[in-house]
Amino acid sequence: MDSLPRRPRLEARAEPDTFSLHYSRGWQYFLLLIFAPPLAFYLYFFAISHINVLTLLFALPALLLARVCFDCFKALRWQGPVVVMDGVGITDYRLGDEAVPWRHVVRAELGANEAFTFLTLRFRSTALAKTHMGTRRFYGSWLDDWFMAGQWRSCLTPLAFKRREVLQRANEFIARERHA
């Protein structure tokens, strides 16, 4: 009787592979469906009327609507991944091209408020957190020390993701770096 060859027993878990998150096209189309019609109405109203108090009153909300629509178009044109987790660290390309090394991270948490879901990385110190805030964040203010002390947040709401998988992968990378 011919026996099948036995698979070698793995002593340690295999290294987790690269995990990347992309923009959710459905979410972007949904936001465009909500925000583009009021913006178009305002632009039509602005085009047919004279500049008066009413048009100026609605200028700020129209700028906010235009910003959301612009961000949606930009996200729909984005080709690559937005957030990448690999053996080196985590990179959020919306905040910059620099990776946050796993050796600086103590733990990863998934948090949510009424509107957004965040991946929050807790750092060993506030100084390490400030070095990885990204070029688009205003990290020189006292408000940042109060709100973001010792942590790094990446907004996951516009991305296609599964909560458990993101948290599990981040913690796998952190545990691997801690035991290395």
pLDDT bucket at 5, cuts 50 / 70 / 90: very low
CA dihedral 127, 129, 134, 139 (to 10 degrees): -60
Residue carrying structure tokens 């002593």: 11
Beta bridge partners of 69: none
H helix count then E strand count, the chain: 6, 8
Model pTM score: 0.71
Do the bridges between strand 105-112 and strand 117-123 make them parallel or antiparallel, or are there none, so unpaired? antiparallel
Average pLDDT on 119-134 reads: 74
CA dihedral 151→155→159→164, nearest 10 degrees, is: 50
Q: Cα separation of 112 and 110, whole Å?
A: 7
The pLDDT value given to residue 6: 44
**Confidence check: pLDDT of 165 > 50:** yes
118 contact partners, CB below 8 Å, separation of at least 6:
110, 111, 112, 153, 154, 155, 156
Of residues 11 and 71, more confidence is placed in 71
Residue 90 in this model has a pLDDT that exceeds 80: yes
Whether residue 1 is predicted with pLDDT greater than 80 in this model: the reply is no
Q: What is the pLDDT of residue 13?
A: 45
Q: What pLDDT, in 10s, does the model give residues 22-48?
A: 999 998 999 999 999 999 999 898 888
| Average pLDDT of the segment spanning 11-25 | 72
Say what the pLDDT of residue 150 is: 62
Contact 133, 148 (CB under 8 A): yes
112 three-state secondary structure: strand
pLDDT, residue 137, reads 53
| Of 159, 180, 177, 153, residue with least CA distance to 87 | 177
Give the span between the Cα atoms of 98 and 96, in whole angstroms.
6
At 76 the pLDDT is: 92
Which of 99-108, 135-144, 149-158, 160-169 is the least confident region?
A: 135-144
